Amino acid sequence: MENDLSRALELRRKGRLIESNQVIMELLLLDSHNASLHYQRAVGLDILGQEIESIPYYVKAIELGLPNNELEYAFVGLGTIYRSHGRFLESKALFELSISVFPGKEQMKVFYAMALYNLGEYRKAMEFLIDVLSWTTTNQDILKHYRAISYLGHRLDSSSDEIVQLTKGSKKINQSEKSIVKKVSEGLKNVSIGGFHTCEASEFDDYYLYFNNPDFDTRKSSLAEFTVMLGNWHSKCSFPFTPQHDRKYDGYFAPYEPSHELNNYVEAFVLHHEQIKQDFPIMFKYIVRFLLEIEEEYQIPYELKFPEVNGGLFSILRKDVLIPNRYLLNKDKDFNMFLKEAGIPEIY
């Protein structure tokens, strides 16, 4: 049972959401009183935007008794769904419970204030927000739910239908049979104009699969794409790696289309980092720099920002790659050298 659940969560990390949900549903049929299985079922449905369907699983998981790390996310997931679907009293009651269970978790008070607002308790809502946010600007419990707080906080008067309409964008990914080299060369051909602020992106592919490809140009192109994705993220031009639970708040919600999973890219980078450093030292330096600075700037560990990823992977990333190569941040970073190594034409 434990091994099967681990397999289901690994499928989710890799973006194989339908398969993951199917395995969890099969496990629930065998063990219907397992709180964590109900929770994971709810999360799987929530990620796919099936919020109403996820509600009974969240409720059952909380009733059966969850460990604190899962209970915290269950309160947030269920409470925000209640509020988005006009069930304000239920949202208020749930967040009151969450505050009593987790008095030190400030994010619960923020979500509670939103429910108060919808019930017309404006003064109380504002008091909660002011009291919380005035001294928690670096609080990691706020930061790890920042996207949800920001998105929902600007849509306090929106109905569920309006929120769903906003989030379910028309992004459509059609993968062609072009080579990795062709996709990257077409996608990044203008990146030299504005650097990492240009939001350049190539046609979707699982570029991490090619970090150790025997063909040098394929390997180079896949690393160039990863470097630019991190560069766009670092410059806040775009966010190619969005936590799974936050995707319904990014304005381009397309849950049945493939997405770039940070888990896959970090795993491949850690596995092949020595060869990457030897073959592509400039790109390696930029990747290390971006991974270090993104985490430091957001003031929240990757483990908290991406709860779907096994935290041990980030520990290995730091210990084996980032910390030993931190000295590279003091080296000169020549963008033209990056363009040359990545095979991106310079524009004069």
pLDDT digits (tens, 9 = 90+) for 25-45: 999 999 999 999 999 999 999
Distances (CA, A) of 212 to 93, 269, 275: 52, 9, 8
Of 151-165, 208-222, 297-311, which one has max mean pLDDT? 208-222
Torsion of CA 265, 266, 271, 273, to 10 degrees: 100
Instruction: Quote the CA–CA distance of 122 and 157 in Å, as a whole number.
Output: 13
- Give the mean model confidence (pLDDT) for residues 165-174: 52
Indicate the pLDDT class of residue 173, thresholds 50, 70 and 90.
Answer: low
- Give the mean model confidence (pLDDT) for residues 103-131: 89
- Give the mean model confidence (pLDDT) for residues 247-272: 89
- Give the mean model confidence (pLDDT) for residues 190-209: 87
pLDDT digits (tens, 9 = 90+) for 123-162: 888 888 877 775 566 677 777 777 777 777 767 666 666 6
Tell me if the pTM is above 0.75: yes
- Give the mean model confidence (pLDDT) for residues 161-183: 66
Residue 140's pLDDT is: 74
Q: Does the pLDDT of residue 213 top 80, yes or no? A: yes
Instruction: Quote the CA–CA distance of 48 and 163 in Å, as a whole number.
Output: 15
pLDDT digits (tens, 9 = 90+) for 64-92: 999 999 999 999 999 999 999 999 999 99
Q: Which long-range contacts (CB under 8 A, 24 or more apart) does 300-305 make?
A: 300/140, 300/143, 300/144, 301/140, 302/262, 304/140, 304/143, 304/144, 305/143, 305/144, 305/243
